[in-house]
Structure 1
Amino acid sequence: MAEFNLQTRLRAIDSAEHGPRLLEISGEHVRLAKELICNTSAYTMEQREEMRGRIEQLRQERDSILSLYADSVQDPEVIMDSGSQSSAPMSGIFGQESFNAVDRPHTSSLRVVSD
C-alpha cells in the first residue's frame, strides 16, 4: 500500500474533483470495518471475505486518487518516531498504515461517532 505525505493527502481531500469521493470512500471503509469488527458473527465467512475484498477495492481507489496529487518528485517520507508506542496498523482515507504523535499529534482526541 502506498504512503502519501500530509500535503498530498490535504491537496486531494480539498479538491473539488476528488474530495467528495474520498469522503465517500472513507465513510464506506469505516462502515465495513466497523461491521467486521463489531458484528463478525452476523456474517458468513463468504460474506466477511466479500466485505474485506470491498475494503481492499476502496483502498486501491483511494490510493489511485491520492497518487494524482503526489508531488512529481517523490514525496518526502513521513517522519516516524522510532520510540512511538503506537505501532498498531491503521488505515483510512489518507493511506498511512500507522500513525503516531509525530505526524498526527491531534489523533489522541478523536472519537468514533456512529449514525
Structure 2
Amino acid sequence: MNRSNLIIEHLKMLPQFMPAGPQACIDTRTGARIIAPVDKERAADGYLALEFPGGKMIEVIGDQYFRVQLVSAVEIWIAHGQVTGDLESNVRTQMKHFHFKMGRLTGQAVPLKP
C-alpha cells in the first residue's frame, strides 16, 4: 500500500469523510472524491487527487491535506463533547498518533512536521 492510500485510510476515520471503495473516500462537505494519483511515484510520495463534482480534479500534498482535515475533525469532536481540552493539544496528540501509525505501516520513521 502506498503512502497516498495510507493517508486515505486515515481520512476515512474522520467524521467528515465516508468510505467510497477500498482506496477512496468522499468529503461529505464538498462532495470531493479523494483517491491516490494515477502516477505511482506521486502516490508513493503521498500526493492525493481530489475529484470535485463536475469533474474538476486537483492534486494536493497528502500530509498537509490530512492536517487541515484533522483540525476540522477535532473541532467537530470538541463541539460534540467527544474530546475534552483545547484544539491545539488535541490536534497535536492526533498528529502524533497519525505519524506513529504511518511509520509502523511503512516501516520507516515519519518525522513530525510543524
TM-score scaled by length of structure 1: 0.29
Say which one has the larger Rg.
1
User: Which of the pair is proportionally richer in strand?
Assistant: 2
| Larger relative helix fraction | 1
